[in-house]
A = this chain, B = another copy of it.
Amino acid sequence: MKLTFENLKQELKEKNVSLSHQRLKILEYLVQNRCHPTVEQIYSDLQKDMPTLSKTTIYNTLRMLEKAGLVKVITIEDKETRYDIDTKDHGHFKCESCGNIFDFPIDIDPLIPEELSEFKIFSKDVYFNGICARCLDIA
């Protein structure tokens, strides 16, 4: 299923999650800004339209969305929790220069070593760190 705002809204409805104005705005933001934003980014962007919005509500909403399985928490670096509306497995590259996060497809299932064969694996994360092509060009 495609990750449209309408589809996700429908999914929440089916899970009996009440859809307040704030929650819908945050969900919409995540759909439109697939840059794995931090709470701070979501807050400062949405505050322009909703001056009374509080960070507490953002935290509450993100926790709710995570519980509902609609967003994934990605811990790319210490102290900055980021949220990803795309819950499919994919890799993340963080550029040390511009700070941007790049998604890339990667399927590591064939590489899982024998010693983990008896383990139950819930999530598989791949995280690279370096300098992106654009920043290399500029330098």
Number of interface residues of A (CB under 8 A): 38
The answer to whether A127 touches B128 (Cβ under 8 A) is no
Query: Are B129 and A123 in contact, CB atoms less than 8 angstroms apart?
Result: yes
Contact A106 B96 (CB under 8 A): no
Q: Does A81 contact B (CB under 8 A)?
A: yes
A122 touching B129, Cβ below 8 Å: yes
Cα A7 to Cα B43 in complex, Å, equals 48
| Complex contacts, A127 vs chain B, CB 8 Å | 124-127
Given the complex of chains A and B, what is the CA–CA distance between A95 and B75 in angstroms?
16
Interface residues of A in 91-138 (CB under 8 A from B): 93, 95-96, 102, 104-108, 111-113, 115-116, 118-133, 136
